[in-house]
Amino acid sequence: MTIAPLRRTARALACITLVATLALPAAARAADAADIGQVKVVRGQVTIERGDQTLAAAVGLRVRTADRIRTGADGAVGITMNDDALLSAGPNSLLSLDRYAFDATSGKGRFESGLSRGTLAVISGRIAKDAPDAMTVRTPSAILGVRGTEFAVAVDE
Amino acid sequence: MSERSRRGRRALAGLAVAALVAGCAPTGVVVLLPEKGGRATAVDVRQDDKSVTLDQPYAAAQFTRQGPKPFESNADDVQRRFGAALGALPARPIDFELQFELGKNELTAESRRKFDEVLAELAKRPVADVRVIGHTDTSGADELNDRLSRDRAGFVRDELVKLGLKAESIEVLGRGKRAPKYGKPDGPPDDRDRRVEVFVR
């Protein structure tokens, strides 16, 4: 196995990136079957309500079905889902991950989320491509059926 | 995608209580954003029995008592309303293809350079999930190819771990010769199918 040249190049790159104060990704707990996505961006105050627990959201935390993500007045959060959908919420938002099922082999799944207040931006992933209402977002007044989309929704309290 | 360089501040009306009162008007807005790559995209907006489909960049709808009311938004409006949310969107998942020399766990020279691109992408992400999927060309038995494809994926995983990536964040799979991309499943083997796909998100 000839790996010396590869390692030399790669090590050189690693040194450069360390000097530039970039580091390779931090350890995060490996995904288990209950995990449906991962927090990738946290700004200001962001908490996750899970059952009767309230967790401080941290980059790397894995999210689960029924999690409610709450941002404070200065908060914003970005989450990558298992089907590669990208979600983010702005300040004073409450986002719930109501239902999530995804089969990576077939690309089929269902994703139902809710925005009860605040702002949400979405770049849909593989589930939305599967069928017209495979991915939906519910707000207090409307249901959004997502079809291979980038969109943003705001709910005034 | 809308420009995210400035974070807009959005004033929220104090309607929490009013929203619980029967008969109060629902409020909110949804805007369809321009899609990179120009794919056709759409959002169906359904309010009770009324619905509107947004299928053009910046097509928007306001939620009203009479149902969703279409209007046209624009980049500035979007930035003002949604700047903070847009600024927090995660980096898009990205994938790389690395190719191997025949019969060895050795990347081609070109793929060694591409491996550096994988590292650069990883360095940009505070936390990354990596999936490495090995493939072989269509020559040889399934069992051999399954093992070879897993070995190739494992080799790439090991290189990433040596450079500091945590093993728990890397999933490794081998697909054997089942998913050729360049050659046909029953056709002559194509060198380029000796590859590993690296998915980073």
Instruction: Please give the structure tokens belonging to residue A53.
Output: 């627990």
Which residues in A lie closer than 8 A to residue B38 (C-beta atoms)? none
| CB nearest B164 (choices: A24, A41, A152) | A24
Do you know the residue count of chain B? 201
Q: Is B127 on the interface with A (CB under 8 A)?
A: yes
| CB nearest B28 (choices: A1, A40, A153) | A153
Q: What percent of chain A has pLDDT over 90?
A: 61
Q: Give the pLDDT score at A156.
A: 77
| CB nearest A149 (choices: B42, B68, B166) | B42
* Those residues with Cβ within 8 angstroms of residue B67's Cβ, 6 or more apart along the chain or in another chain: B47, B48, B50, B51, B52
Q: Give the pLDDT score at B38.
A: 65
CA B196 → CA A59, A94, B185, distances in Å? Answer: 28, 40, 17
- Asked if residue A53 lies in contact with residue B192, where contact means CB atoms within 8 angstroms, the answer is no
Distance (Å, rounded) from C-alpha B86 to C-alpha A49?
A: 23
Q: Give the pLDDT score at B7.
A: 30
pLDDT in tens, A26-49: 556 677 889 999 999 999 999 999
pLDDT in tens, A67-117: 999 999 999 999 999 999 999 999 999 999 999 999 988 889 999 999 999
- Nearest-neighbour CA in chain B from A93: distance (Å): 10
- Asked if residue A86 lies in contact with residue A79, where contact means CB atoms within 8 angstroms, the answer is yes
Distance (Å, rounded) from C-alpha B135 to C-alpha B126?
A: 29
Instruction: Please give the structure tokens belonging to residue B181.
Output: 């991309």
Max CA-CA distance within chain A? Answer: 61
3 state SS of B114: helix
pLDDT in tens, B69-98: 999 999 999 999 999 999 999 999 999 999
Contact A88 B90 (CB under 8 A): yes
Q: Give the pLDDT score at A50.
A: 97
Instruction: Please give the structure tokens belonging to residue A33.
Output: 């079957």
Work out the pLDDT band at A21, boundaries 50, 70, 90. very low
In this complex, how many residue pairs, one in chain A and one in chain B, have their CB atoms less than 8 Å apart?
Answer: 233
Which of B43, B13, B46 shows the shortest CA–CA distance to B31?
Answer: B43
- Nearest-neighbour CA in chain A from B187: distance (Å): 24
| CB nearest A40 (choices: B82, B83, B127) | B127
- Nearest-neighbour CA in chain B from A128: distance (Å): 10
Report, as an integer, the average pLDDT of B113-140. 91
Q: Give the pLDDT score at B112.
A: 92
- Nearest-neighbour CA in chain B from A99: distance (Å): 19
